[in-house]
Structure 1
Amino acid sequence: MEIWPAIDLRFGKPVRLRQGDYDRQTTFGDDPVEFAQRWKNAGARRLHLVDLDAARGDDPTLNREAVKRIVAATNLQCELGGGVRDEASIESLLALGIDRLVVGSAALKQPDWFAKMCDTYPGRLAAGIDARGGMVATDGWLETSTTPAVDLAKDLRNRTDKIAAIIYTDIARDGMMSGPNFEGLIEMAAATDIPLVASGGVTTIDDVRKLVQIEMPAAIVGRSIYDGVMQLEEVLDAAGDR
């Protein structure tokens, strides 16, 4: 199972939110490159980056600079999500050296456009499906739609076969150290043949082992490795991602 350590960015600094709430933020120092290097030194081969400012329409300049520095400093495979809503942003972000972009709100609101972009940039775009109570949440998790997450996954798969992955996040679990929503992940994995990335709530080594047991292709780890509940080296070993 692939492990993607997360680095969430706000005003150029590494932070973590609880359940996507911008008012429940913990800031981890000033320089996200330090964490990128730490995760690389622990054995990580890839990084999951999130531009929290762009996700809700704020100025992403500081985060873009941070992303450029992370890519240059680590030379790891990086994916980036947050505010990817038009082709111009896709082109500019890929030009930074990002390997894969995560498209969230626009995949729900403009599915034809997203499918076209997947066909234009095959294997470079992942759908970020974030769910609150099983329904897709959008706009930096500030809005909740009436579309079931599983239905969106099926619809996108019917439109294109060039989607790189689905990053599936249960917002209720994100940053809460309460374990993933295994039932939701199993349901989502069964819905399509798109590679699935588990996100939100991966807290213990037992969580990692269970994800491996249910044959999850990949998982994102965040707060637990920042708080020291898990060591990234242990996570990579349990996942077989060496």
Structure 2
Amino acid sequence: MEIWPAIDLRHGKPVRLRQGDYDQQTTFGDDPVEFAKRWQDCGADRLHLVDLDAARGDDPAANRAAVERIVKATGLPCQMGGGVRDEETIVALIDAGVSRLVVGSRALKDPEWFTAMCDAYPGKLAAGIDARDGLVATQGWLETSEVTAIELAKTLREKTANIAAIIYTDIARDGMMQGPNFDGLGEMAAATDIPLVASGGVTTYEDVEKLVAMKMPAAIIGRSLYDGVMDLSRVLEIAR
């Protein structure tokens, strides 16, 4: 199972939010490159980056600069989400060295566009499906749609074979240190053959072991690493 340590960026600094709430932010120092190198030193061979400013329409300039520094400093494949809503952004981030981009809100609102972009950039785009009570949340988790996460996944698969992955996040679990929504992950895995990345709430070594037992292709881990609840080296041992 692939492990993607998460680095969430706001104003160029590494932060974490509780349940996507911008008013419940913890800032971890000034330089996200320090965390990127720390995770690399622990054995990480990939990173998951999130532009929290772009996710809600704020200026992404500081985070873009941080992403370029992370890519240059580590040389690791980086997956990035947050505010990827047009082809110009896709091209800019790929040119900046990002290996895979996560499209959330626009994949729901304009699946025709998203699947066309998947075909134009095969293997480069993943769908970020963030769910609250099984329904897709958009706009940096500020809005909830009437479309279920599984319906969206099936729609996207019907339209393209070139979608790289689904990053599935249960908002209620994200940053809460309460474990993933294993039932939701299992239902999503059964509903589509798109590679699934578990995100949100992975807190204990037992959580990681259960995801491995479920044959989950990949998992994103954030807060538990920053708070020292889990050691990344041990997580990687379990996953491998």
Aligned residue for 2:162, secondary structure, equals coil
Q: CA deviation at 1:140?
A: 0.3
Q: 1:138 is aligned with what amino acid?
A: T
Q: 1:9 is aligned with what amino acid?
A: L
Within-5 A mapping of 1:91-130:
91-130=91-130
CA distance in 1: counterparts of 2:188 and 2:22, whole angstroms: 27
Q: CA deviation at 1:133?
A: 0.6
Q: 1:86 is aligned with what amino acid?
A: D
CA distance in 2: counterparts of 1:137 and 1:16, whole angstroms: 18
Q: 2:100 is aligned with what amino acid?
A: R
Matched, 1:144 2:162: no
CA distance in 2: counterparts of 1:217 and 1:148, whole angstroms: 22
Q: CA deviation at 1:165?
A: 0.2
CA distance in 2: counterparts of 1:214 and 1:71, whole angstroms: 31
Identity fraction in percent: 74
Aligned residue for 1:229, secondary structure, equals coil
Q: CA deviation at 1:221?
A: 0.3
CA distance in 2: counterparts of 1:208 and 1:110, whole angstroms: 34
CA distance in 1: counterparts of 2:190 and 2:115, whole angstroms: 21
Look up the match of 2:9: 9
TM-score normalized with structure 1 length: 0.99
Look up the match of 2:83: 83
Q: CA deviation at 1:194?
A: 0.3
Aligned residue for 2:198, secondary structure, equals strand
Look up the match of 1:55: 55
Q: 1:87 is aligned with what amino acid?
A: E
CA distance in 2: counterparts of 1:233 and 1:211, whole angstroms: 17
C-alpha offsets along residues 173-222 of structure 1, whole Å, 9 cap, x if unaligned?
A: 00000000000000000111000000000000000000000000000000
CA distance in 1: counterparts of 2:234 and 2:26, whole angstroms: 24
Q: 1:2 is aligned with what amino acid?
A: E
Q: CA deviation at 1:79?
A: 0.5
CA distance in 1: counterparts of 2:221 and 2:235, whole angstroms: 9
TM-score normalized with structure 2 length: 1.00
Matched, 1:23 2:28: no
CA distance in 2: counterparts of 1:97 and 1:77, whole angstroms: 8
Aligned residue for 2:194, secondary structure, equals coil
| Aligned-pair Cα RMSD in Å | 0.3
Q: CA deviation at 1:118?
A: 0.1
Q: Which runs of 5+ in 1 are unaligned?
A: none
Look up the match of 2:198: 198
Q: 1:189 is aligned with what amino acid?
A: A
Within-5 A mapping of 1:144-223:
144-223=144-223
Q: Which runs of 5+ in 2 are unaligned?
A: none
Q: 2:73 is aligned with what amino acid?
A: A
CA distance in 1: counterparts of 2:41 and 2:84, whole angstroms: 29
Q: 1:128 is aligned with what amino acid?
A: G
C-alpha offsets along residues 119-152 of structure 1, whole Å, 9 cap, x if unaligned?
A: 0000000000000010000000000000000000
Q: 1:98 is aligned with what amino acid?
A: V
